Amino acid sequence: MNPNTQLVLYNTISRQKEAFEPINAPFVGMYVCGPTVYGDVHLGNCRTFVSFDLINRYLLHLGYKVRYVRNITDAGHLEGDRDEGDDKFSKKARIEQLEPMEIVQRYTIGFHDIMRMFNALPPSIEPTATGHISEQIEMVREIIGKGYAYEVNGSVYFDVEKYSRQYNYTILTNRQMDDLLAGTRDLGGQDEKRGRLDFALWIKAKPEHIMRWPSPWGVGFPGWHIECSAMSSKYLGDQFDIHGGGMDLAATHHTNEIAQSQACNHTQPAKYWLHTNMLTVNGTRMSKSAGNGFLPQELFTGDHPLLKRGYSPMTVRFFMLQAHYRSTLDFSNEALDASEKGFKRLMNAYDLLGKLKTSNTSDFDIEDLRARCYTAMSDDFNSPILIAELFEAARIINTVYDGKGAIDEKNLSSLKELMSNFILDVLGLKEETCQTDDLGQLMDFIISLRLDAKNNKDYATSDKIRNALSKIGIQLKDGKEGTTWSK
């Protein structure tokens, strides 16, 4: 690693880039809001988790001991406007004739499968909301004890207006309280909330409600935001380094998390708040409600009206990493096509590293390139610039391979380390072609047959072999050193 680069990251709370200084270096605590597992994760969800995978990987690469906590929301979030209606799990369960926990299990496994395909490292701890009901109840009790929440009819609400007199409720979004109030609808007569901005910490369960737990306020289930506050403080302490999630969570979910933690512990839960931007389709945010989302599986197979064809998981990951995590990224077939070719080019160069011949002199200075890679990543995890630098490395590799440039032992060795560090460890990209030994030997044999034909000037046969292989997705490349192939 390069100790000379200071990592800076953009903190939503200050709306500027700040030097990253962990509370207890070399330990770093990072909490990321995970998925709600009542349905398949769509590609937009995946983008956030790939972004935080990059952040996690870079922190690890820099030598930090990261405890990465990402929750699974499997309870309690309500649908509808006024905390009415079924919870998502029991509703979905009724549709599919399954137990709520069966739904949770199914989609949790699906989520893990997808994350594995994207080559995302698993978090250190992946707590579930249903597994931490008592912690949530305890936190609600404390908030009531501190005077920032009140019970009505078996439900508990957070008193936002009281809180906002002592703390800056809108610290994350910098909104004015008056504007927030203007944006809310009138409270109906039946509403139990005292203030229109108040939100539920604990909700009384209706008789038909399946997911329910006993509490000091009766049988019910936790509100939307309390799980993250309870679980983050349990595993990372009342104050930790990084809290992350999608930008859509900042205004409501994270704002309320901060309020809960402040009210309970009188501390800001996280030092740095990181928010990833949305994936868009034709300029519009991909979301469940807009119906413009598609599933990773559909993207891989190409089985979707918006898709011309399928793209591999690593192509999609590379596509995501070519944009900065705080920018929106617009999805299109053309953009995926471009990323696919770029990704192959980069990985092809990486493969060539082992075949390079060294010289006594070197036309390239890898040290300088290496420094630029660290500079890019340390500037708020700027993976697009890192990738641009890696393409420069690819050019060097290809030039040397072509015999049009020289590299010495020392620079080649640092080039190998650089490529491996950044492509594999930091960007988390991996080879997708499974070149088994059997296939390799078979290909060697076919290539030797074709070489015989070529030597006999039997180009009809040599082209026939090449065309046939091309049809099954294997490209032959005749070079000075002989013929190579790739899938």
Partner RNA sequence: GGCCACAUGACCGAGCGGUGAGGUGGAGGUCUGCAAAACCUUUUACGGCGGUUCAAAUCCGCCUGUGGCCUCCA
**Residues numbered 415-454 forming contacts with RNA, rule: CB under 7 A:** 454
What is the smallest separation between the CB atom of 355 and RNA, expressed in angstroms? 12
Could you tell me the two tokens for 4? 């000379």
CB 381 within 8 A of CB 326: no
Position 471 contacts RNA (CB under 7 A): no
Helix (H) or strand (E) holding 331: strand 329-331
Closest to 169 in 3D by CA, of 268, 279, 60, 292: 268
479 near RNA, rule: CB under 7 A: yes
Rounded to the nearest whole angstrom, what is the least distance from the CB of residue 427 to RNA in the complex? 13
Shortest Å distance, C-beta 162 to RNA: 19
DSSP class per residue in 186-242: PPPTT---SSTT-EEEEEEPPTT--S-B--TT-SEEE-TTHHHHHHHHHHH-SSEEE
- Of 29, 34, 123, 269, which lies in the binding site for RNA, with binding defined by CB under 7 A? 34
Binding site annotation covers 46?
no
CB nearer to RNA: pick between 57 and 254: 254
Nearer to RNA, 141 or 381 (CB): 381
Residue from 105, 173, 358, 359 in contact with RNA (CB under 7 A)? 173
Q: 177 burial class (0-12, 13-18, 19+ CB within 10 angstroms)? A: middle
What DSSP line would sit under 80-140, residue for residue?
SSSS-S-BHHHHHHHHHT--HHHHHHHHHHHHHHHHHHTTPPPPSB--BSGGGHHHHHHHH
Residue 252 touches RNA, criterion: CB under 7 A: yes
Residue 264 counted as an annotated binding residue: no
CA atoms within 13 A on the CB side of 399: 14
Of the pair 42, 212, the CB lying nearest RNA is at 42
Between 233 and 462, whose beta carbon lies closer to RNA? 462
Examine residue 162 and tell whether it contacts RNA (CB under 7 A): no
249 counts as binding RNA under rule CB under 7 A: yes
Of 40-48, 56-64, 118-126, 140-148, the segment contacting RNA by CB under 7 A is 40-48
Q: Which residues in 361-420 contact RNA (CB under 7 A)? A: 379, 382, 384-385, 387-388, 391-392, 394-395, 398-399, 401-402, 404
Site residue total, RNA (CB under 7 A): 94
CA atoms of 57 and 66, how far apart (whole Å): 9
Q: Is 209 annotated as a binding residue?
A: no
Q: Which is nearer to RNA, 44 or 123 (CB)?
A: 44
Q: Identify the residue whose tokens are 């020392």.
A: 410
The residue from 91, 112, 175, 209 that contacts RNA (CB under 7 A) is 175
- Tell the smallest beta-carbon distance from residue 458 to RNA (Å): 9
- CB 212 to RNA: min, Å: 19
- Applying CB under 7 A, among 22, 222, 246, 313 the residue interacting with RNA is 246
User: For residue 70, what are the β-bridge partners?
Assistant: 32
Residue 136 tokens read as 């949530």
Is 35 near RNA (CB under 7 A)? yes
Cα 297 from Cα 318, distance rounded (Å)? 17
Whole-number minimum distance, CB 271 to RNA, in Å?
A: 19
Residues whose CB is less than 8 angstroms from the CB of residue 379 and which lie 6 or more positions away in sequence, other chains included: 8, 17, 385
> Which segments are annotated as binding site for ATP?
288
> Which segments are annotated as binding site?
33, 228, 253, 257, 288
